[in-house]
Amino acid sequence: MALDYVVQSLQEVIDGSESAFQHIGGVFDAYRTEYSLRPALLRHIRFAPLVMDYLSLDEETKCRVQDFQVSFPKFLGGRSSGHAVKGFWMSDRGRRTRARRLLSRTRLANLAVRFYDFYEQHHGTNERFGMTYFFENPAFLKRFGEQGKALYQSAFLLFSGGYQEFSCLVELVRPGARPKMYTLQDAARDVIMVFDDFVKVRDYLQVFSLRQLNQNKVLRSKFGDVIDRMAVKARAVGGFSKLIREAGKTRTSIRKYASSAELILREGHLEVVRMFDFYLEHHQPSEEFCTWYLLENKSMREAFGTKCWNLYAHARRHIGPDGMQKLVRRAAVVRPEIRKYWSYTASTRHHPHSEDSE
């Protein structure tokens, strides 16, 4: 970051470097000049690293940045949508990108300051300023809606050091305002909390994944905000699997529910038993219990949707070409009656609506 360069130059001044002294003096002079020309703009770009980024722009770009601030007076203060930055235009792509990045970073930092000022006036005794506050505090959500979530996500896009670098920036203006970090360990604790309810409401072969959590109405209703912040953290660290791996250090059973391969081996035969029970109740005398029936029978498709095709596909993928037959043999250990009805007739036609169960 540009501030690091200033700090290094200051150290060189302390060490007696004349050139560094001249450089630091030049920075201060440049800032005073710019502030005299564009005070309203510089009052928004009030964070030292961002000021350094601004000073590095050429004169034409600085003028365009000021024009943008005049055209969109609420943007830099964090009082309008981040999409407005597209209103800034220069034909030179490099200069346009640098300026837009500066504008977006400034908006985000000022928005965080607004969040902190609100927090200072409204927070409870045990509430910490940070991601949990953004996601769950009723007063904050009523005032700012989804902006807290959007800020957290944008910090990872706009700052190479992610949320930590961004929070250090905010603290320059509001000492003590560095948000409490939502760490990987915090996310792992959330994963375990949600997992404990997931195992109570899940169906056979359902993988513990963000997709399943978002699709489950019961879990979504109870843990919506928690699931959202887990999703944000997952994107930041490279995937939900990283959260699973961390949570698995404490709750090893989670890993077993996060793998389709493990689930088909452990639960696939139980799904066959359930489908067999349906067959006994609904089949016609001429219909055999076989792969074709599971994949093509209209009543079966209406009752199970794509689950039959998913079972068949996962059995082939994770067990082998004869995976379905092996599941049936295991199911027959639980329900010996299956042996009387099962036929080894199989259909291998592709079903257009089949999909992974995850």
Per-residue confidence band for 17, with pLDDT thresholds at 50, 70 and 90:
low
pLDDT of residue 22: 62
Per-residue confidence band for 330, with pLDDT thresholds at 50, 70 and 90:
very high
- Average pLDDT of the chain to the nearest whole number: 84
pLDDT of residue 21: 52
pLDDT of residue 48: 83
User: For the residues of 47-75, what is the DSSP string, one character each?
Assistant: SHHHHHHHHTS-HHHHHHHHHHHHHSTTT
- Would you put residue 238 in left (φ > 0), alpha (ψ -120 to 50) or beta? left
Give dist(CA 240, CA 209) in Å, integer: 7
Confidence check: pLDDT of 356 > 70: no
Give SS3 for 130. strand
**pTM for the full model?**
0.55
pLDDT of residue 62: 95
Phi, psi values for residue 152, rounded to 5°: -60, -45
Tens of pLDDT along 116-169? 899 889 887 777 887 778 888 899 999 999 898 888 888 878 887 777 777 777
Give dist(CA 65, CA 24) in Å, integer: 24
pLDDT of residue 19: 61
Q: How far is CA 162 from CA 4, 156, 181, 290, 353, in A?
A: 16, 4, 11, 54, 40
Helix ranges, 238-259 (H): 240-248, 253-257
Give SS3 for 180. strand
pLDDT of residue 346: 45
> Which structure tokens are listed for 158?
């706009």
Per-residue confidence band for 179, with pLDDT thresholds at 50, 70 and 90:
low
pLDDT of residue 161: 72
pLDDT of residue 229: 84
Give dist(CA 278, CA 289) in Å, integer: 10
Tens of pLDDT along 59-112? 999 999 999 999 999 999 999 999 999 999 999 999 999 999 999 999 999 998
What's the average model confidence in pLDDT over 6-29? 58
What's the average model confidence in pLDDT over 198-223? 90
Q: Integer distance in angstroms from the first to the last C-alpha of the chain?
A: 41
Q: How far is CA 294 from CA 91, 202, 206, 246, 309, in A?
A: 60, 22, 19, 38, 8
Residue of 341 and 344 predicted with greater confidence: 341
Confidence check: pLDDT of 286 > 70: yes
Residue of 317 and 132 predicted with greater confidence: 317
> Which structure tokens are listed for 292?
């074709």
Task: Map out the domains of the chain as residue ranges.
Answer: 38-173, 184-257, 260-341
Per-residue confidence band for 303, with pLDDT thresholds at 50, 70 and 90:
very high
314 Cα distance to chain centroid: 27
Collect all residues with Cβ–Cβ distance below 8 Å to 115 and sequence separation of at least 6: 129, 134, 140, 144, 147, 148, 151
CA angle 224, 237, 176 (to 5 degrees): 80
Handedness of CA 200, 201, 207, 208 (dihedral sign): negative
Tell me which residue of 251, 275, 260 sits closest to 317, measured CA to CA: 260
Half-sphere exposure (CA, 13 Å, Cβ side) for 302? 5
Confidence check: pLDDT of 13 > 70: no
pLDDT of residue 353: 42
User: For the residues of 289-331, what is the DSSP string, one character each?
Assistant: BSHHHHHH-HHHHHHHTTHHHHHHHHHHHHT-TTHHHHHHHHH
Confidence check: pLDDT of 40 > 60: yes
pLDDT of residue 156: 78
Confidence check: pLDDT of 3 > 60: no
Percent of the chain beyond pLDDT 70?
A: 87
Entry field: residues in the chain = 358
Per-residue confidence band for 348, with pLDDT thresholds at 50, 70 and 90:
very low
Confidence check: pLDDT of 259 > 50: yes
Q: How far is CA 117 from CA 48, 102, 120, 173, in A?
A: 20, 23, 5, 11
Residue of 168 and 199 predicted with greater confidence: 199
